[in-house]
Amino acid sequence: MKFDTPATTNPIDQLKVIGKPTDRIEGPLKTSGQAPYAYEQHEAAKNQAYGVMVGAAIAKGRITRMDLDEAHAAPGVLAIVTAANAGKLGKGKYNAAHLLAGPEVQHYHQAVALVVAETFEQARAAAQLVHVEYATDKGQFDLAAVRDQGKEPKEELPDVKHGDFATAFAAAPVQFDQTYSTPDQSHAMMEPHATLAAWQGDQLTLWTSNQMIAWSVGDIATTLGLPKEKVRLISPYIGGGFGGKLFIRADSILAALGARLANRPVKVALARPQIANNTTHRPATIQRIRMGATADGKLSAIAHEGWSGNLAEGKVEVAAQPSQLLYAGENRLVSMRLAPLDLPEGNAMRAPGETPGLMVLEIAMDEMAEKLKLDPIQFRILNDTQVDPVKTERPFSQRRLIECLQTGAEHFGWDKRNATPGTRREGRWLIGMGVAAAIRNNLLVKSGARVRLERDGKITVETDMTDIGTGSYTIIAQTAAEMMGVGLEDVVVHLGDSSFPVSSGSGGQFGANCSTAGVYAACMKLREAVTTKLGMTEGDAVFADGQVQLGNKHVPLRNAAQNGVIEAEDSIEFADLAKQYQQSTFGAHFVEVAVDAATGEVRVRRMLAVCAAGRILNPKSARSQVIGAMTMGVGAALMEELAVDKRLGFFVNHDLAGYEVPVHADIPHQEVIFLDETDPISSPMKAKGVGELGICGVSAAVANAIYNATGARVREYPITLDKILDSLPPMI
């Protein structure tokens, strides 16, 4: 099905199942421990062995000698994989570094070996007996030091130059120019990267934790030199990904190599201390914001320049991206530069680009508002735009940023905020409020599904879409139930298997909208097949309450399949609407903090997110997604930082003892408001996505609240108390 004209009234608009707050249908399996994750596929293959990875102890250089004798002689050892016996390995499209080192080492904890043994304990013990000697090369590990070596990554975000920024900025009555920094951050998902691999002849099956099945089938085939049809990925349950599992990592390749060498199934899970350096992370950024405005607050010039670092074939963190679209202004410069670093690979993490970009832009907006003596919300509203500021012929399909800000201000009690920093106290606590705008683009990815009407009238859905804890099982079941006129209990959903039709996968906030649109397309075909089978060939049949109705004729849906199941398969393909309209989601984040007047300790007391993100398919799971994202934003603001050892080139705090993330008790109250919105330009579902919008701008709202509470303006994340202490107002 091609989606090339705006959606009109369709079966989804009945809203009998779609749009209802619905419990996740896989919830009982997960809460009872019956949902088998990748490492727990105990029945999937018999006689499983265990693999433990050995990571490189240097950041850059070469392996000069590897002694495996002691490890081979250890109890239970079946095989040891190294570059010497792995065969020729390619490199996947989505990997910057090779997933198995040798002899070259490209980053710290790059895999150098896998020890396979009868038990996990035996494999772990033997892995300690692998002796590796290295020749170390000089590396670059400090972004600030190599910033000037940055180059324009034209294929990702070419410089945006609109109007004449330099002239407009120089002429602006009010000017602003500041530089900010965000640190490297880890995904810190609950489930580690894990894979079980089994060979049957030349056919490889991987049970793995992966967000994007089709992408990863291709990269595994490329890496191992196999035809794609010889690789099957199965990933029914994923314990969090946040972008860290978009691409294959060392666990999947090592498990496949180990299984081939040991001639039996092998499972590999990366130990928590290996994940930060072996897998991907959100890269650190340095960002400079310049703004010029008229005396009444209209932006006439805006420049957002950013620098991030990565391995030679890595990508830039597109942090300047939000400044292309969020605010009006006829003269602008947006640029990103990629500098060479020898740290582990940087790549996508929840809302890549927008998260670090809005961490900076939305502080700058508050700072500029203060210069102009304007309320921060008033300043943002004053610079709203209903068209793409660079391509003014492209209107936004929906843009309700002003309504998000105004609705949030009313619900949060913004009128009670004292604009003078450091003036509101409750005992020892300094109280402040902060706000930030949010934007995340609506990405559209082709997505397919297969649906069947079974003999008993139930509907089966198959698609390689994944559920990373986001509720994919439920919204896909809701879509099929709505389309076929049955109850949710009459739909069975199978996900995460490369033998199913290719879906959008889970990433970029596009998964919910695109995967359900693919199910919609398949269901439309199934409806046609059903009506043809029932002889209802004239007019529009209505599917409801397990019946098919045309005029006065009512027939049970199951009757169509009494002589055999009916199956249909289709994909949603998005055409040129995305070129005609700028499609984005918008939000506003409000935060209240309390800061200890003596120590500078920060407590987040309450948070509110107001989101305009198209039709909300399941308000219950969508709310959970936004609250989770808000919590991640607090972590990024106050505590999350992968500390770089700039001498040896690795992340020092590479476990959850040293890499701190928020917990439930850190934020007593979180609230989410969804504006009632549909976007017929987006898809037949009229939805968009919300899982990443929820983090966009949150950290800046926290920073702005801290400033309002204390007068401490921090431009270097995370905002730890040592950065606040010197700016605290005098003790009373």
Non-local (6+) Cβ contacts of 721 within 8 A are: 599, 600, 601, 602
Q: Return d(Cα 684, Cα 571) in angstroms, integer.
A: 12
Q: Return d(Cα 518, Cα 533) in angstroms, integer.
A: 23
| Measured torsion, CA atoms of residues 658, 95, 212, 22, in degrees rounded to the nearest 10 | 20
User: Where is 233: in which H helix or E strand?
Assistant: strand 231-234
Residues in the chain: 732
Quick one: pLDDT at residue 538? Answer: 66
Q: Return d(Cα 294, Cα 296) in angstroms, integer.
A: 5
Q: Return d(Cα 557, Cα 546) in angstroms, integer.
A: 6
Non-local (6+) Cβ contacts of 732 within 8 A are: 425, 597
What 3-state DSSP class applies to 415?
A: helix
Which pair of structure tokens corresponds to residue 1?
A: 């099905």
What 3-state DSSP class applies to 448?
A: strand
Q: Return d(Cα 633, Cα 162) in angstroms, integer.
A: 31
Quick one: pLDDT at residue 558? Answer: 97
> Smallest Cα–Cα separation from 327: which of 371, 359, 291, 296?
291
| pTM for this model (two decimals) | 0.98
Which pair of structure tokens corresponds to residue 463?
A: 């698609």
> Smallest Cα–Cα separation from 686: which of 2, 9, 4?
9
> Smallest Cα–Cα separation from 447: which of 398, 532, 508, 488?
508
Please list the ranges in the chain whose pLDDT falls under 70: 156, 538
Could you write out the three-class secondary structure of 242-275? Answer: CCCCCCCCHHHHHHHHHHHHHCCCEEEECCHHHH
Cβ atoms of 463 and 500 within 8 Å: the answer is: yes
Could you write out the three-class secondary structure of 518-584? Answer: HHHHHHHHHHHHHHHHCCCCCCCCEEECCEEEECCEEEEHHHHHCCCCEEEEEEEEECCHHHHCECE
692: annotated active-site residue: yes
- Residues forming a β-bridge with 604: 593
Q: How many CB atoms lie within 10 A of CB 28?
A: 11
What 3-state DSSP class applies to 322?
A: helix
Query: Which residue do the tokens 């913004």 mark?
Result: 414
pLDDT tens-digit series, residues 604-662: 999 999 999 999 999 999 999 999 999 999 999 999 999 999 999 999 999 999 999 99
Query: Which residue do the tokens 């400079």 mark?
Result: 288
Torsions phi, psi for 357 (to 5 deg): -65, -45
- Report all structural domains of the chain as residue ranges with CATH numbers, in order of start: 2-35+444-579 (3.30.365.10), 39-138+192-278 (3.30.365.10), 353-442+583-727 (3.30.365.10)
Catalytic residue among 410, 426, 692, 716: 692
Q: Which amino acid belongs to residue 602?
A: V
Cβ atoms of 625 and 692 within 8 Å: the answer is: no
CA atoms within 13 A on the CB side of 49: 28
Q: At what angle do helices 698-710 and 354-371 cross, to 10 degrees?
A: 30
Lateral strand order in the sheet of 131-136:
104-105, 61-67, 131-136
Lateral strand order in the sheet of 299-310:
160-162, 331-340, 299-310, 285-293, 174-182
Cβ atoms of 573 and 3 within 8 Å: the answer is: yes
Cβ atoms of 354 and 412 within 8 Å: the answer is: no
